[in-house]
Structure 1
Amino acid sequence: MKRVISPQSSPRSPTRNPPSMAARDAGRRRPSSFPCLAAVLVLISLLLLFAAFRSSLAPQDRTAVLLLPPGSSCNYSDGSWIRDPDLMTPRYDHTCKEIFKGWNCIANRKSKALDTLRWRWQPSHCDLPPFDPLRFLRLYRNKNIGFVGDSLNRNMFVSLVCMLRRVSGDVKKWRPAGADRGYTFLSYNLTVAYHRTNLLVRYGRWSADANGGVLESLGYKQGYRVDVDVPEPTWADAPKFHDILIFNTGHWWGAPAKFDPTQSPMLFFYEGIPVSPPILPEEGLDLALKHMMLYVDKTSRSNAIKIFRTQSPRHFEGGDWNEGGSCRRTKPLSPEQVEELFSVEKNGTNIEDRLVNRHLYKAVEGSSFRVLDITHMSEFRADAHPSVAGGKKHEDCMHWCLPGLTDSWNDLLVAYLDNWKN
């Protein structure tokens, strides 16, 4: 509670003789303290009324009141994880049909799966309201929301759909604008869809032409053709359809199992012509981000909100995914442990997220895109991956359990959307 400091008046000493006329006139001209006291009383009354209003709200509504100065925005991405004993049950049932089997840690009987849900993200300088599905459905009535990206964006999409289905079962399942999957909540005419794409841009197998060419002359025989200025067809129509777009990319750009630098390198093309001399994948990523943002700006709805989600961190320890790496922690990491795993200077096992984010922030600078930073909050959560649940051959230390961490990503999304709309 704020301290209210009121002016103190010093006691008047008694006088034997009545004041003179001049003294009485001066007294009449002295400003009265009554207006100041009245203002203080009004302020105290308003504070008491606000406190009463806050206490009268239902528990799920209280956190919806953001105590932010007009025109300001809190950095919800800066904070720490707090164990909250009130978080005893998941936000939605693990039987939600949209959950991919490998991510269903409760059904797969991951050890202490429920314990991973009992941590709450607490921003440093404000509170993060928990996702309110009914409020969301009402606020985004008649809107279309599209997630465009790899399986980590599907992780976030599934979280959102399952939270909404908990309160609204009247849905139509379909594939709007070429989406991989989507739902329309009929009572609110709200559509949420997921468009799968690994690189955002179009790519496919490439083999050397018998007649030769630029790449053939450099000794290339096979690889993957990546057209940095052409969107993958799975989402090319998405900007025309959606009012809110959430993009991600990055994980596939450094996937040696797919794009082996020697056996199947990424070969970049622009306007149908090979980029020569050939460039590295990180340079190709810069070009792809630049051209895809231009494409979205050109084809999206006039008032569309365009968001790029930052990189989701992996938590392999003791080696990478194919080197016996594991993620079997049972609670969030400490700040020191986070730096050990993710520090670029120390060449940590999981530096991918910070390296990719450098390219992303460079691309969005000066653009119409907004950034949803989920990286920092996620780096702590080595405990929240499926790991060996479900008998996997390689531990899954990249995707997230559902229900789980990506529920908090959606908390973050809604909090920022509330601010961006205002």
Structure 2
Amino acid sequence: MRTLLSVDRRRYLFPAALASLLFIGSLKIILENIKTIHLTDAFFWPQRTEHRVVRRPITVSDDETIERSCNIFQGKWVWDNQSHPLYTEESCPLLVKQVTCQKNGRPDSSYQNWKWQPDGCNLPRFNALKLLEILRDKRLMFVGDSVQRSMFDSMVCLVQSVIPEGKRSLQKVPPRKIFRAEEYNASIEFYWAPFLVESISDHATNHTVMKRLVRLDSISNHSKQWEGVDILVYESYVWWMYKPTINATYGNLDNVQEYNVTTAYRLAMETWAKWIESSISSHVQKVFFMTMSPTHLWNWEWKKGDGGNCFGESQPIQRPYWGTGSNLDIMGIVKDVLGQLRVNVRLLNITQLSEYRKDGHTSVYGERKGKLLTKEQQSDPKNYADCIHWCLPGVPDTWNEILYAVLLQDYRKF
């Protein structure tokens, strides 16, 4: 397996087109969806009142239980056009243009039919009704950048079809998106915080800045929105990786210094960890941290390449693989910080399984500067292919299948 023990500058040299897609394209997603799909009189999150709806017990069968000895993050992708995809672009009208690769002209659809098969056990079949029952009277919040937002979009698509029309809502209140399941008094939410700590890129619709500035010791503006959330799923990676260094402050706002990215990332994670330890009650709240979502910017890493990227790829990598789009130093920092926490934060280690999926990116079938690529742009994948974001249905659905499996396991314990 290819490993890099030191920071390789190539990790930071994203092509200009991809950098633009990452920041400007994410702006379009939120702007396009400012209009509310369905408004209700309820507020944005479940209310704790005297009239709580009584939880209806659900049955968890033995084949929905993952053995403790099974590492669900180690396995392989298997072809399954019977049970996957779990939904379609047509069945989920809430999807935005950036991820609807079929509608945007992608000629193949096989990226939708791969299922993650752990070694030694099976993931339970995703059951939207069971998940909604688990979430009754609760808030599930995804926190991070546009990659994490795709996990939110995926989860909404996985559950929305079983909720009657008029009993569900999607509201955009930047930096949040809130999907409500009224009958369950439950919400699935997304909160924009690309660095987790505060930065000049925190405005959800005006964050396209080429010179980043991060406050490594400040998190309160974000964390007050996380207080009391029942299930939190965090992610932060790709925004850190634009250059080997990043401008940041620590303590004195007037003292802006240039930090090595790995040093800055550790300081930011330690700030986040302090809030977790001081604010999370493990007996009533669950916290997850999702590892980095890999990029596939250079095809020479998995084959005898020609200077291309993820464009035209239609099959997963079927051998051990670790690309330069995933930084081992960052991975180590995440494990170190989580390992020192006194509060239980569980790692969703999606990096290796996603490394194999060079075929799952939006490539030239997404948006750039808020518009679908023209035919001329699509014919120039070297400059216009997006090998950061993922098509939906696709890889982020598997991340949610894993999250569901863990939540189901927890539910059975009680």
Q: Same fold (TM over 0.5)?
A: yes
Q: CA deviation at 1:95?
A: 5.3
Aligned mates of 1:328, 1:191 — CA distance in 2? 37
- The equivalent of 1:166 in structure 2 is 161
Q: CA deviation at 1:201?
A: 1.3
Aligned mates of 1:378, 1:411 — CA distance in 2? 13
1:197 aligned residue (193, 198, 202): 193
Deviation per residue, 1:230-280 (Å, 9 max, x gap) = 1273x3223213100000001011114xxx85xxx413323646377x531
2:336 aligned residue (352, 362, 373): 362
Which amino acid is 2:171 matched to?
Answer: W
Q: CA deviation at 1:162?
A: 0.9
Bigger RCO of structures 1 and 2 (CA < 8 A, at least 6 apart): 2
**Are 1:255 and 2:246 matched, yes or no?**
no
- The equivalent of 2:130 in structure 1 is 135
Structure 1 pair 326–175 and aligned structure 2 pair: CA distance change class (3 A): closer
Percent identity over paired residues = 26
Structure 1 pair 139–73 and aligned structure 2 pair: CA distance change class (3 A): farther
**Are 1:226 and 2:214 matched, yes or no?**
yes
- The equivalent of 1:404 in structure 2 is 394
Aligned mates of 2:117, 2:278 — CA distance in 1? 38
Structure 1 pair 374–175 and aligned structure 2 pair: CA distance change class (3 A): same
**Are 1:289 and 2:272 matched, yes or no?**
no
| Structure 2 residue matching 1:111: 3-state secondary structure | coil
Structure 1 pair 293–97 and aligned structure 2 pair: CA distance change class (3 A): farther
2:349 aligned residue (350, 373, 391): 373
Give the total of aligned pairs.
Answer: 322
Instruction: Indicate if the aligned counterparts of 1:94 and 1:107 stay in contact, CA closer than 8 A.
Output: no
Aligned mates of 2:96, 2:194 — CA distance in 1? 18
1:18-417 correspondence to structure 2 within 5 Å: 64-66=63-65, 68=67, 72=68, 74-87=70-83, 90-94=86-90, 96-113=92-109, 115-169=110-164, 170-174=167-171, 179-204=175-200, 224-231=212-219, 233=221, 235-256=222-243, 265-270=246-251, 272=253, 274=255, 278-301=258-281, 303-318=284-299, 325-336=309-320, 338-339=321-322, 342=323, 348=324, 350-352=325-327, 354-367=328-341, 368=343, 369-390=345-366, 392=373, 393=377, 394-417=384-407
Q: Which has the larger radius of gyration?
A: 1
- The equivalent of 1:213 in structure 2 is none
| Structure 1 residue matching 2:361: 3-state secondary structure | coil
Which amino acid is 2:353 matched to?
Answer: M
Instruction: Indicate if the aligned counterparts of 1:202 and 1:231 stay in contact, CA closer than 8 A.
Output: yes
Instruction: Indicate if the aligned counterparts of 2:292 and 2:326 stay in contact, CA closer than 8 A.
Output: no
Q: CA deviation at 1:64?
A: 4.6
Which amino acid is 1:245 matched to?
Answer: L
Aligned mates of 2:393, 2:214 — CA distance in 1? 35
Instruction: List gaps (5 residues or longer) in structure 2.
Output: 1-59, 202-209, 302-306, 367-371, 378-383
| Structure 2 residue matching 1:274: 3-state secondary structure | coil
Aligned mates of 1:128, 1:357 — CA distance in 2? 24
Instruction: Indicate if the aligned counterparts of 2:317 and 2:356 stay in contact, CA closer than 8 A.
Output: yes
| Structure 2 residue matching 1:371: 3-state secondary structure | strand
Instruction: Indicate if the aligned counterparts of 2:235 and 2:292 stay in contact, CA closer than 8 A.
Output: yes
| Structure 1 residue matching 2:178: 3-state secondary structure | strand
Instruction: Indicate if the aligned counterparts of 1:312 and 1:374 stay in contact, CA closer than 8 A.
Output: yes
Q: CA deviation at 1:227?
A: 1.2
Q: CA deviation at 1:414?
A: 1.3
| Structure 1 residue matching 2:170: 3-state secondary structure | strand
Structure 1 pair 138–80 and aligned structure 2 pair: CA distance change class (3 A): same
Deviation per residue, 1:100-155 (Å, 9 max, x gap) = 21111121121212x11221111101111121101101122111011000011100
Instruction: Indicate if the aligned counterparts of 2:195 and 2:239 stay in contact, CA closer than 8 A.
Output: yes
Aligned mates of 2:61, 2:108 — CA distance in 1? 30
Structure 1 pair 288–409 and aligned structure 2 pair: CA distance change class (3 A): same
Instruction: Indicate if the aligned counterparts of 2:66 and 2:409 stay in contact, CA closer than 8 A.
Output: no
- The equivalent of 1:51 in structure 2 is none
TM-score by length of structure 2 reads 0.71
Instruction: List gaps (5 residues or longer) in structure 1.
Output: 1-60, 206-221, 343-347
| Structure 2 residue matching 1:370: 3-state secondary structure | strand
Structure 1 pair 306–89 and aligned structure 2 pair: CA distance change class (3 A): closer
Let me know the Cα RMSD of the aligned residues. Answer: 2.8
Deviation per residue, 1:159-203 (Å, 9 max, x gap) = 000111011141133358x75211110011111100011111112
Q: CA deviation at 1:325?
A: 3.5
| Structure 2 residue matching 1:226: 3-state secondary structure | strand
Q: CA deviation at 1:73?
A: 5.0
